[in-house]
Chain A
Amino acid sequence: MSRKAHIVGVGETPYAKWGRIAEVMQGDVTEHALAHFAIMKAVEDAGLSIDDVDGLASFAEDRNEAIFIAAELGIPELRFGNMVWMPGGGGGCAAVSNAAMAVETGQAEVVVVYRALCQGEFMRFGHAAELMANDGGGAAEPPPVSFQQANTLMLAAMGQVMPFGMLTGAAAFALPFRRHMHKYGTSSEHLGKIAVTFREHANRNPRAVLKDKPLSLEQHQGSRMIADPFRLFDCCMENDGACAVVVTTEERARSLKKRPVEIVASVQGAPKGYSFGSFTNANIDDAIYATGGTEQMANRLWQKAGMRPEDVDVAQIYDHFTGSVLMQLEDFGFCKRGEGGDFIDSGALSWKGGSLPTNTSGGSLSEAYMHGLNHVLEGARSLWGESCCPVENANVCLVTSAAGVPSSALLLKGH
């Protein structure tokens, strides 16, 4: 038996609209307490106990650092703790990948990957602008505009673009998609069909924040503009909650209660000169500007796994914005460059009869925004036959984390 890494359990807290976590948790909770609940549920799902856990991994500058989570959970001995580079959802699959490396190299036996987000407790990403605007408000005589010192690389990069009002993901990812529309004639209706399909999936998912809210193409087209061409329903939600995934070796997995899901291959990274992608970088290579920036990485994934796009039965594609889904579908080779719109029109993404059932839980657009780690949970569930939108005989699932910023991806296989 090998040390090959497998997913053996998943778990989450109830998900809530931002600021409403108290309503679904029967009482107010903090973000790190949400992380504990999710980790305990995932461990229980695997048939393990917290005493079996010896590693923790997260991403996106998770405030809930492994050493404190380990201490509060009473983990007997922490042997591995890891935080993937940079903010943003690009590190979701990479955190799973790092957990896999830890168990495969013997650094740890059981690593839990987690992500907690309580934007009711902390700042909402989509409202950074309002907070910035309020900063220093109330002064009788505001001081003249002057330079501020950037004391991190991230602030140096953001500090170059913030004077132009670049503060939100919607604006950052609208830029490459606008160019995609210009080059290939992609339309807002294509984006609407993505949003509607994922909502249909969420309407079947009791965990989904928007499970009781159907969405029509007309409603999508009538929704208010956020950052052209992205309308309200092209943007993911902002939610409170937490989720977790348990990774261990094949050997250990054999004695556990669920059929292990193999992490066949994983990749992470960014193209040359990418920085924080279209958020901060106006000079992304022209050849990849109107893409998700994940084609190179996707090719590495197929090569490592010895698989092709045709081998994928179901996909969980990071959906911070609809346009980023469309460009990733091209990056990963499910259709040719520029043909993402036609691919969407074919109904490919629907769980019912689509050629590539995608985001079978509803994704970040309609299940919950957990920085894409919930996509990994749904990936495992879709191979266990536990998805609310089951795909018959699904054996291979692609999971991706973000596009337009440094990213990561996993290929999962059922046993």
Chain B
Amino acid sequence: MNEQTQRWFPNSMPAPMVDKYSLPWWQACAENRMTAQRCKSCNHAQLPPAPLCSECRGNDFELTALSGKGRLYTYTAVHQPVSMEQTLPFIIAVIELDVEGTPCKNPVRLMSNLVECEEADLEIGKPVHVVWEKMSDMVSIPRFKFTV
């Protein structure tokens, strides 16, 4: 099955609000590429992208490609709708993204969603991988699934 065409959330979900620094990260998402902002001076990885490295205050960055694999750091099953046509509950998850094989010196976390999982299966530390939800030609949202 082609996961790129799968949908889990309606279009009426809030759209990303971007600034100069976060837009390139979202544009990489639109190409289904998971990245993190890496400081070229000290290899600190940060998300969301910002004008300065919070570790060394450097401002020379690149978006480093990540595998899109990671682990569930924490989660909540939300029982209140965020948009009208939504299935409840939905899972907000913090994902610790794997940086193995990249110059990044620290794992970096991303706020996202877990999809296609039962509440009973939710367990902190379990491996996950990114799946992309194409909302439009311009916007793809990274969500995650448990890696079986």
Cβ-defined contact, A182 with B124, below 8 A: yes
Interface size class of B (residues with CB under 8 A): 35 or more
User: Inside 8 A of B47's CB, which chain A residues have their CB?
Assistant: 282-283
Report if B80 contacts A (CB, 8 A): yes
A145 to B80 alpha-carbon distance, docked (Å) = 22
Q: Which of A148, A171, A178 contacts B17 (CB 8 A)?
A: A148
* Distance from B77 Cβ to chain A, minimum over Cβ atoms (Å): 4
Cβ-defined contact, A178 with B75, below 8 A: yes
* Distance from A126 Cβ to chain B, minimum over Cβ atoms (Å): 8
A175 to B113 alpha-carbon distance, docked (Å) = 12
Cβ-defined contact, B89 with A225, below 8 A: yes
Are A145 and B136 also in contact (CB < 8 A) when A167-B82, A170-B80, A179-B124 are?
A: yes
Cβ-defined contact, A160 with B22, below 8 A: yes
Cβ-defined contact, A273 with B136, below 8 A: no
From 90 to 132 in chain B, residues with beta carbon under 8 angstroms from any chain A beta carbon are 90, 92, 94-95, 108-113, 119, 124
Cβ-defined contact, B113 with A144, below 8 A: no
Cβ-defined contact, A226 with B111, below 8 A: no
Report if A132 contacts B (CB, 8 A): yes
* Distance from A283 Cβ to chain B, minimum over Cβ atoms (Å): 5
From 157 to 183 in chain A, residues with beta carbon under 8 angstroms from any chain B beta carbon are 157-168, 170-171, 174-176, 178-179, 182
Cβ-defined contact, B16 with A171, below 8 A: no
A106 to B104 alpha-carbon distance, docked (Å) = 51
- Against A, the Cβ 8 Å flags (1 = close, 0 = not) of B48-65 are 100000100000000000
- Against A, the Cβ 8 Å flags (1 = close, 0 = not) of B11-51 are 11111111100110010000000000000000000111000
* Distance from B112 Cβ to chain A, minimum over Cβ atoms (Å): 5
A308 to B68 alpha-carbon distance, docked (Å) = 46
Compute the total of residue contacts between A and B using a CB distance below 8 Å: 159
- Against B, the Cβ 8 Å flags (1 = close, 0 = not) of A189-227 are 000000000000000000000000000000000001111
Cβ-defined contact, A129 with B80, below 8 A: yes
Q: Which of A130, A159, A171, A282 has the most CB of B within 10 A?
A: A282
Report if B74 contacts A (CB, 8 A): yes
Report if A289 contacts B (CB, 8 A): yes
- Against B, the Cβ 8 Å flags (1 = close, 0 = not) of A117-142 are 00000000010011011100100001
A144 to B134 alpha-carbon distance, docked (Å) = 11
Cβ-defined contact, B17 with A155, below 8 A: yes
Q: Which of B13, B108, B109, B137 has the most CB of A within 10 A?
A: B13
Cβ-defined contact, A228 with B89, below 8 A: yes
A133 to B10 alpha-carbon distance, docked (Å) = 10
Cβ-defined contact, B110 with A165, below 8 A: no
Which chain A residue shows the least CB distance to B108? A283
14 additional A-B pairs beyond A134-B84, A226-B78, A282-B95, beta carbons within 8 Å, are A133-B12, A133-B84, A147-B17, A147-B138, A157-B48, A160-B16, A160-B48, A175-B74, A226-B80, A227-B77, A227-B79, A228-B79, A229-B76, A283-B46
6 chain-A/chain-B pairs, Cβ below 8 angstroms: A129-B80, A130-B81, A145-B138, A145-B139, A159-B19, A175-B75
